[in-house]
Amino acid sequence: MPYVVDRKPLTLLERLYIPQVLAGMRITLKHFFAKNITMEYPEQRPAIPPGYRGVPTLVKDPNGREKCVSCQLCEFVCPPKAIRITPGEIPLDAPTAHVEKAPKEFEIDMLRCIYCGLCQEVCPEEAIWLQNDYSLSGYTRAELVNNKAKLYELGGTLPDLHLKWDKKQAAEKAGKAHH
């Protein structure tokens, strides 16, 4: 059996909705005369919080050499499969021939990337870093697939504590570890 709720009838003022219209006009006028809070993007940008995960990029060591050794861990761990790496050989006469390998091609499809940060966490060489950039745009889908050159351009240079590229320094580091 339904329960009927008795409601009091609306007064004349309530039936005309005048208080509600005036309340809406008051809010509109308050915002009309308030200080402008609109941010002038892109000249003004919001503060980026610590730990922000932005665009994944490749970084070089302080000597300008690429840190990526084509281990493909970032490619395997990427949930949307946005990373594609083609491993390449390092010539035997190159000064960095003692390093395993280097990427022949490295692409990140920014339309597929979900900015999860797993690629940075899994990288043993600290070659892939998430930058603070959040404003990507392009006229075609192909412009948003970052190739190896574009990734290094966006990433820049970061300090390297591994010393894997320098035979002499790597040997000294290994020697100090045994003593």
Domains along the chain with CATH numbers: 56-156 (3.30.70.3270)
> Given a cut of 90, is residue 45 above it in pLDDT?
no
CB 106 within 8 A of CB 85: yes
Q: Is the pTM of this model over 0.85?
A: no
pLDDT at 83: 97
Q: So what's the pLDDT on residue 108?
A: 96
Gap between the Cα atoms of 59 and 67, Å rounded: 7
State the sign of the Cα–Cα–Cα–Cα dihedral 150, 151, 153, 154.
positive
Tell me the two tokens of residue 83: 């990373």
How far is 177 from 117, CA to CA, in rounded Å? 32
Question: In what helix (H) or strand (E) does residue 109 lie, and over which residues does it extend?
Answer: strand 102-109
Average pLDDT value for the chain:
86
| 111, pLDDT greater than 90 | yes
Do strands 128-130 and 56-58 pair parallel, antiparallel, or not at all (unpaired)?
antiparallel
Query: Which structure tokens are listed for 7?
Result: 């409601």
Cα 145–chain centre separation: 14
Q: Which residues pair with 130 in a beta bridge?
A: 56
